[in-house]
Structure 1
Amino acid sequence: MNLHQLLCLFVLALFLNSCSNNSQTTKQPNVVIIFLDDSGYSDFSPFGQTRIATPNVTKLAEEGIMFRNFYVPQAVCSASRSALISGCYPGRTKVFGAHGPGGRGLETTFPTIGEVFNNAGYKTALFGKWHCGDQPETRPQNRGFDETCGLMYSNDMWRHHPESPDYWGQWPLQFWENGEITIEDVDSADQRMLTKWYTEHAVDFISKHKDEPFLMYVPHAMSHVPLFCGPGFEGITGKGLYADVLTELDWSLGQINQALKDNGIEENTIVIFSSDNGPWISYGNHAGTTPFREAKGTTFDGGTRSATIIKYPAELKGNRQSTQALMTIDLLPTLCEVANIPLPETEIDGKNVWDIISGKPNATNPHDYYAFTNNSEFQAVLSGNGKWKLHLPHNYRTMTDIKGKDGIPGKYDYSAKIELSLFDMENDPYETTNVILQHPDIAEELLGYAEIHKKKFFSEN
């Protein structure tokens, strides 16, 4: 072989290698979103829990990025989930609180992440608790998800409710699969299998669709009360049922992560691990923990700040932490950007925050502020940089001395009230000291954003 032929082969090899690299870098990523229910910020070891081992969450944190200031716009089930899948504030969609059986949920005029990705050619799945609508056109099978299984609403909305069994007993708690009811009235034995069933469906879906882009949403029913865990997990920790439930959730994450590895697609898959809100502390030893003020059902950080990890080996260097503020409404536009998928034509509130997630030097949050509601009341704003938080005057619930135990809730005091208050979240993340008198200019700026938000979404109120 002469020199000319060798040079031709060398150039051809470079060309083929370049084509291969371009193909790899332009391949659309898979997306896996694991969304826990009522998990506390400190429930897992990377975020402060030391009572039990959660090795798979720890491993995910080592392989990905921990986000310590990641928020939901409302710390209640339906509102939080609808915000995640639509990229919209509850004020826009009017999905507030937790919708019960037969609830309308998220209107079909708001595209879901399932519809957006499915329309772009992705295979899509939802395995877990939906809670974004329980009418034919608002159930997940008709909202862009090819494969589905799970509950339409919370697992405590059943005939064994500890406080209102007669009320919730009017509707059977049904288990659905691919648009059909497969269990007409879920019982305790079925509840014990929920985490296992969702995990098995997720692993199977990964194996079936490893050769095509997919989006899989796994909103677990746990660790929402009533607590249940599957065979092999109850009593495994010796530290109570809540610890056992966390152990099974950690196992589930490990199974999903291993399935991605076994199918050779871990590198090109974005995994997001988070929770819909903070712990439901009225349930005492059946609730998670948070170091922040208050908990679920409030606009304090104990309710709205969720421990979050994002892993994407192809693009993100692991074993890092970020303290920049982000919110679930940003996931839809950010994932669309990374996957090169057009945003829905309807207006959304989230923004592309990939520069922050990827750790681009000097990246700043594109939001002037983030807004927080409790039910239909607009209560607080956080500056886009996460430094300052302003609470508008409002009542909130806090725990009394009557604590919950073993599945029976304690009692809330609903008379607690906060006046107009400014908190320095960088130096006082627990919202203990009102510094509004020391920083009137900051308070005025945030009040201006609050007025803009109120006018845009709550002017009729």
Structure 2
Amino acid sequence: KWHLGSNDGRLPNDQGFDEWFGIPRTTDEATWSKSPNWSTDVVPLEKIMEGQKGGKSRILRDYDWEQRRLIDREITRRAVSFMETQAKRDRPFFAYVSLTQPHLPTEPNPDFRGKTGNGDWADMLAEMDHHVGLMLDAIDRLGIGEETIVVFTSDNGPEYVKPWDGWAGPWRGQYFTHLEGGIRVPFLIRWPGKIEAGRISNEIVHGVDMFATLATLCGAKTPEDRPFDSLDQSEFLLGKSEKSAREGFPIWCADRMQAIKWRNYKLHLYQQENMFAPPMKLPVPFIINLYTDPREEKPTVDTWTVGPMLKIAAEFEASVKQSPLIPMGTPDPYRPDRSK
């Protein structure tokens, strides 16, 4: 999904991409077509779209239940075609491939239904594995493997709504919460000859760190006229350092800081069990040691960790004074004040 605005001016071709194909919002809207009370006269279906830089994006077809099953195959085909074109032209490229699986509804492509014998979830994972494999095979076939950085990760933890709820292993919680199950996701990176294969680490890397990291790895410079949350993780990923450049971060949900994470500790400022539960501000915040309590149920007496976590909060507050938060509901386009 794109999910950064679905109106003209906010679509990918308006935000720096040369071309795009996909859905502007989110996959759960495909379920509307199966709702007995839904009517396109009341709420139209989301559209599958494509666009080019400098032009207006166009609608291809409705994103209904059937298209939900088929779209990842088309996304993969187009991604491979894009890479083939760029490799033929000997041009560097950046491809953001946002597969819709395993977002709800977890409906596999008909060619994968029943393939694993373990239900739709397993079939859908097999489908996703197949599509990722096709893209990796294309990179190797085109002879650009050693020049191509591949990152495989997710935007959040598992779903809460049944029957599509997922599993976060030993961690408690789902997305839309500050619990580890909602924010901790796999992160895999491949760069043959540069990044050691098979290396495993439990160090903290944040999604926002990809901006500064990829800029460094590609020899680009980041602007110096604005603050960035992104930290350069190139030394860590290249194996030049065993430690991440990041020790912690504030955990922001909606319009509030709900927790702070530092190393293997987390300071809980709010309590929220799931996406539908109201966030309750704690009268007395408590600290969790994630090594000994991955389910975040037993406050620890390691109160000395408050120091580094309050430092993270102070740094965040200082950055907000320099660059104020964008109020929810602010019209787009938004231009930050760079006079400070």
TM-score range, shorter chain: 0.7 to 0.9
* Counterpart selection for 2:10 from 122, 138, 157: 138
Aligned to 2:157: 278
Structure 1 length as normaliser, TM-score? Answer: 0.63
Change (3 A) 1:416 1:245: farther
Aligned to 1:353: 233
Task: Tell me the distance in 2 between the aligned counterparts of 1:325 and 1:265.
Answer: 29
Per residue, is there more helix in 1 or in 2? 1
Change (3 A) 1:157 1:187: closer
Contact 2:49 2:59 in 1 (8 A): yes
1:446 to 2:309 alignment: yes
* Alignment-mate amino acid for residue 26 of structure 2: S
Secondary structure, aligned partner of 1:200: helix
State the 1:217 CA deviation.
0.4
Structure with larger RCO (C-alpha < 8 A, sep 6+): 1
* Counterpart selection for 1:318 from 194, 197, 204: 197
Secondary structure, aligned partner of 2:63: coil
Secondary structure, aligned partner of 2:139: helix
1:173 to 2:46 alignment: yes
Aligned to 1:329: 208
Task: Tell me the distance in 2 between the aligned counterparts of 1:196 and 1:428.
Answer: 40
Aligned to 1:18: none
State the 1:156 CA deviation.
1.7
State the 1:371 CA deviation.
1.4
Larger radius of gyration: 1
- 1:108-154 deviations in Å (ceiling 9; x for gaps): xxxxxxxxxxxxxxxxxxxxx21111121111011111121000000
Task: Tell me the distance in 1 between the aligned counterparts of 2:40 and 2:268.
Answer: 35
Contact 2:45 2:64 in 1 (8 A): no
State the 1:367 CA deviation.
3.7
Change (3 A) 1:429 1:354: farther
State the 1:249 CA deviation.
0.5
- 1:199-240 deviations in Å (ceiling 9; x for gaps): 001111111111211110011122111222223112222211
Change (3 A) 1:187 1:445: closer
Contact 1:172 1:184 in 2 (8 A): no
Task: Tell me the distance in 2 between the aligned counterparts of 1:334 and 1:260.
Answer: 21
1:428 to 2:276 alignment: no
- 1:390-425 deviations in Å (ceiling 9; x for gaps): 111x241339xxxxxxxxxxxx55477765121122
**Identical residues among aligned pairs (%):** 26
State the 1:169 CA deviation.
5.2
* Counterpart selection for 2:26 from 138, 149, 154: 154
Change (3 A) 1:324 1:278: same
State the 1:451 CA deviation.
3.9
Secondary structure, aligned partner of 2:137: helix
* Alignment-mate amino acid for residue 60 of structure 2: I
Q: CA RMSD in A?
A: 2.6
State the 1:273 CA deviation.
0.5
Change (3 A) 1:167 1:442: farther
Task: Tell me the distance in 1 between the aligned counterparts of 2:36 and 2:58.
Answer: 27
Secondary structure, aligned partner of 1:267: helix
Task: Tell me the distance in 2 between the aligned counterparts of 1:430 and 1:255.
Answer: 36
1:397 to 2:273 alignment: yes
Task: Tell me the distance in 1 between the aligned counterparts of 2:203 and 2:65.
Answer: 41
Change (3 A) 1:395 1:433: closer
- Specify every segment of 5 or more residues in structure 2 that has no aligned partner in the other structure, as ranges: 328-340
Contact 1:396 1:417 in 2 (8 A): no
Contact 1:203 1:256 in 2 (8 A): yes
Task: Tell me the distance in 2 between the aligned counterparts of 1:206 and 1:168.
Answer: 40
Change (3 A) 1:168 1:414: farther
Contact 2:22 2:50 in 1 (8 A): yes
State the 1:175 CA deviation.
0.8
State the 1:365 CA deviation.
3.5
- Specify every segment of 5 or more residues in structure 1 that has no aligned partner in the other structure, as ranges: 1-128, 400-411
